[in-house]
Amino acid sequence: MSRGSTTSLRGLCGTETQLVKQVHSCLLRRGDRPGLCRGSAKRHWHGHGTKWALKASALCRAAARYPACYRPAAGTQIPVNNLWLAGNSHNMVSSVESAGLHLLHKAQNLFSPSSSSTSTDVESIRPILTSLAAIIIAYGIWAVLSRPRIHKNSPKLWRAYEWPLLGSAPSFYNRRRDYVMQGHKESKTGNFSFLVGKKHVVAVAGPAGRKTFYESRGLNFSAGFVELLAGMPFTQEADATEGDWPKYFNKTLVTMLRTEMLVKKLPVLCNDVRAFCDRLASESPSKSSPEWLVTDVFDTVYSLLTQLLSRIVGATEIAKDIETSNKVVRIFERFEKSNSTTGIIFPWLRVFTPAYVTRMVLGAVLYLKFDRIIKDRKRTGRREDDALQYLLDLGTPMETIIKFQISAVWAALLTTGANGTWLLVILASNPEWKAKCREEIDGAVARHRTSPGQSVHDVLESLTLEQWETEFPVVDVCLKEAMRVAMPGAVFRKNTSGFDIPIGDTGEVIPAGSFATYIQDEVHMDDKYYPDPTRFDPGRYERNEGGKGEPHTFVGWGSGMHPCLGSKLAKLEIFLMVACVLGRFDVELSDKDGNAVKEPPSMLDRNEHTVAKSKTPIYLRYKERKL
């Protein structure tokens, strides 16, 4: 961080008065008169040593109620009524929300290296910087002296890229795939271990490593992700390791994704896809030719897929309007991106990171969005048939609802949006498999058409859930192959069993208390299972490639103890989108003016932490088919 940005950080978070003034001025600019009751908040939060953090988010009452972003010490009650703005009007709520966003923007600008500073500011924070430096040095000495002991049967500690204090974290977080794959290569058994700060991590490989990783009961899914993955929604480790949250979350999600729920929602999903295709059809012609229209797929198709997901796990008020849905998705995306590796290596530093402040503010903004929707439902007596209503009817507290939303998004929204969009891009640039999918879709439409006047949408909308699940095997295998080539990333576990867990018969163990990680490319890009592994070739599964019969050789939907709970929903949404788009339009890869592009777009950087949107826009040109 530059000197300027450090100075500005203090400017943002220095004293409560300063912060409250900023909030005030935001609100006053909008013509409202907030009544901030500061005394109680101050007394309450100062006691927990996180004073500046609250100050940065003193903006919205959500942060106080919303523990996934910010939470006081265990057992503490927050005097919500005392903390926040007096008054409850919609105006006030949206003012606070704007104030929150304003401060967030401000924070982001301040943290950017281009921020300017004055020497007076630097002088004024010199004592703080000196104390901070002293603390860091003391911590460093302590950390070096108290280096964790490595179990003698743990896979060999690979120290090639190790840094004092940080361990191998810089390599693991910045070039994850290359780092881990090199470690596997240099180890006799394929397994090796490394340090992330003081955390001991075992990277497993090969059939024995995969079997241990995916099948051991003692390896805890949530604890692994919470403590090792920058970007996980939980900030409190207790949530994942001791609390009931993972169980509660999975159980609630499974209820929402029951077959009868999906059957009930199918017509709504079909309607959204039809409206999406109608919007595509009404776009203006491209520059290159009047018959072709052009769309930026990581904008439009991605938005559709996230909208469909909100229909099932979110709120109708957000899902029914694509603009609102997009806005909320962007907040979720920013929430997910605002992660801090520093916080993982030095958990005690977490509250001092910009990512932490950003998350608090975004959590607060989400809180206000849902709060407004809930209040409106209560005021008008309106009920909706959606996940939010389900949670409300159970008397679920607001903080749990928000936490549920963020967790659902983390598990579902971005992966479904990105994988589905990549599939369409890959098909658009692969004439052979696009034709095979088209043949399958046309076949289904012909089989189910009951009168000649029915459009593609009319017919597809008459299909049952079961027909969607069984009548599109070619689209299914294309999705599987697209996920293999487009989805890099790693998965995590923590050994919370209290015992060492043997890695097959290698003689090595994942020691009690240590972490385990597995890079999906280890098997997905192994040419023993997938010859010419970077090539998109769904036909390989018919040729018995892909490790047929051997467990855990395709792990795109998870495997073993933790298979994906939402695969059925994700597939349904993606099949709907592909069937309607390819059934109604001719689609090709193009530039933004609609000129055909022959070269397929370059895929993701394989060091990405998970499947992601393309960093540069990818355009498809399309025109209505003459049927």
Task: Find the binding residues for ligand HEM in span 480-499 (CB under 6 A).
Answer: 483, 491
Per-position x/- string for 426-465, each x denoting binding to ligand HEM as judged by CB under 6 A, each - no binding: ----------------------------------------
Among 423, 428, 523, 569, binds ligand HEM (CB under 6 A): 569
Residue 462 is encoded by which pair of tokens? Answer: 């008459």
* Residue 201 three-state SS: strand
- Contacts with ligand HEM by CB under 6 A: the residue count is 21
Q: Distance between CA 610 and CA 415 in Å, rounded?
A: 8
Tell me the backbone φ, ψ of residue 571, rounded to 5 degrees.
Answer: -65, -45
Shortest Cβ distance from residue 553 to ligand HEM (Å)? 14
Least gap, CB of 439 to ligand HEM (angstroms): 24
Distance CA 294, CA 58 (A): 45
Residue matched to tokens 């007394």 = 43
Q: How many other CB atoms are there within 10 angstroms of residue 117's CB atom? A: 16
Q: CB under 6 A: which stretch of 14-22, 326-334, 522-530, 561-569 binds ligand HEM?
A: 561-569
Q: Which span sits near ligand HEM by CB under 6 A: 198-206, 234-242, 526-534, 558-566?
A: 558-566
Angle between helices 3-13 and 90-111 (to 10 degrees): 160
Give residues 130-159 in contact with ligand HEM (rule: CB under 6 A). Answer: none
Q: What kind and span of H or E run contains 589?
A: strand 585-590
- The nearer residue to ligand HEM, 570 or 618, going by C-beta atoms, is 570
* Minimum distance of ligand HEM from residue 411's CB (angstroms): 4
Q: Say which residues have a Cβ less than 8 Å from residue 531's Cβ, sequence separation at least 6.
A: 540, 545
SS3 286: coil
Integer Cα distance of 570 and 417 in angstroms: 9
Distance CA 340, CA 173 (A): 10
Nearer to ligand HEM, 135 or 561 (CB): 561
Provide the minimum distance between the beta carbon of 565 and ligand HEM in the complex, in angstroms, as a whole number: 4
Given the complex with ligand HEM, which of 494 and 621 has the nearer CB atom?
494
Q: Using the minimum distance from each CB to ligand HEM, give the nearer residue, 36 or 261.
A: 261
Contacts of residue 312, defined as CB under 8 A and 6 or more positions apart, other chains included, come to 256, 257, 261, 262, 265, 387, 569
Stretch that binds ligand HEM, among 146-154, 159-167, 270-278, 551-559 (CB under 6 A): 551-559
Q: How far apart are CA 233 and CA 231, in angstroms?
A: 6
Helix (H) or strand (E) run with residue 194 in it: strand 192-196
Percent helix, strand and coil across the chain, each to the nearest 5: 55, 10, 35
Q: Which of residues 158 and 492 has its CB atom nearest to ligand HEM in the complex?
A: 492
Joined together, the tokens standing for residue 420 give: 């589905």
Smallest distance from the beta carbon of 562 to ligand HEM, in angstroms?
3
Question: How many CB atoms are closer than 10 A to CB 8?
Answer: 23
Residue from 175, 449, 562, 592 touching ligand HEM (CB under 6 A): that is 562
Closest to ligand HEM by CB, 61 vs 552, is 552
DSSP string, 129-180: HHHHHHHHHHHHHHHHHTPPPPPTTSPPBP-TT-BTTTBTHHHHHHSHHHHH
Q: Which of 570, 587, 612, 620 binds ligand HEM (CB under 6 A)?
A: 570
- Other CB atoms within 10 Å distance of the CB of residue 189: 18
Of residues 53, 51, 52, 64, the one with CA closest to residue 96: 64
**Minimum CB separation from ligand HEM for residue 203, in Å?**
14
Which DSSP letter does residue 57 get?
A: H
- Per-residue contact string for residues 282-321; x = within reach of ligand HEM by CB under 6 A: -------------------------------x--------
Nearer to ligand HEM, 22 or 252 (CB): 252
Give the other-Cβ count within 10 Å of 273's Cβ: 23
Smallest gap from residue 493 Cβ to ligand HEM (A): 7
At closest approach, how far in Å is the CB of 461 from ligand HEM? Answer: 21
Q: Does 564 bind ligand HEM (CB under 6 A)?
A: yes
> What DSSP designation does 413 have?
I
Identified binder of ligand HEM from the candidate list 566, 582, 585, 620, rule CB under 6 A: 566
Q: Binding ligand HEM by CB under 6 A: which of 139, 161, 541, 557?
A: 557
Q: Does 565 bind ligand HEM (CB under 6 A)?
A: yes
Cβ-based nearer residue to ligand HEM, 34 or 224: 224
Smaller CB separation from ligand HEM, 253 or 361? 253
Distance CA 542, CA 176 (A): 32
CB of 417 to ligand HEM, least distance (A): 8
Q: Say whether residue 423 binds ligand HEM (CB under 6 A).
A: no
User: In the stretch 403-422, what mask flags binding to ligand HEM with x, by CB under 6 A?
Assistant: -----x--xx--xx--x---
- Based on CB atoms, which residue is closest to ligand HEM, 115 or 421? 421
CB of 404 to ligand HEM, least distance (A): 11
Q: Is residue 478 annotated as involved in ligand binding?
A: no
Say how far apart CA 405 and CA 325 lie, in whole Å.
Answer: 13
Q: Exposed/middle/buried for 27, CB within 10 Å: 0-12, 13-18, 19+? A: buried
Q: Which of 556, 576, 621, 623 binds ligand HEM (CB under 6 A)?
A: 556
Identify residues 235-264 at the interface with ligand HEM (CB under 6 A): 250, 253
Cβ at position 477, least distance to ligand HEM in Å: 14
Give the nearer residue to ligand HEM in terms of CB position, either 32 or 521. Answer: 521
User: How many angstroms separate the Cα of 132 from the Cα of each of 112, 136, 137?
Assistant: 21, 6, 9
Task: State the nearest-atom distance from the C-beta of 170 to ligand HEM, in Å.
Answer: 23
Identify residues 162-191 at the interface with ligand HEM (CB under 6 A).
none
Which residues 206-225 are close enough to bind ligand HEM by CB under 6 A? 221
Torsion-angle region of 166 (φ positive above 0: left; ψ -120 to 50: alpha; else: beta):
alpha
In whole angstroms, how close is the CB of 336 to ligand HEM at the nearest point?
14
Residue nearest ligand HEM, CB atom distance: 566
Distance CA 117, CA 595 (A): 48
Q: Which residues are annotated as a binding site for heme?
A: 564
Interface residue list for ligand HEM (CB under 6 A): 221, 250, 253, 313, 408, 411-412, 415-416, 419, 483, 491, 556-558, 562, 564-566, 569-570
Q: Which residues are annotated as a binding site?
A: 564
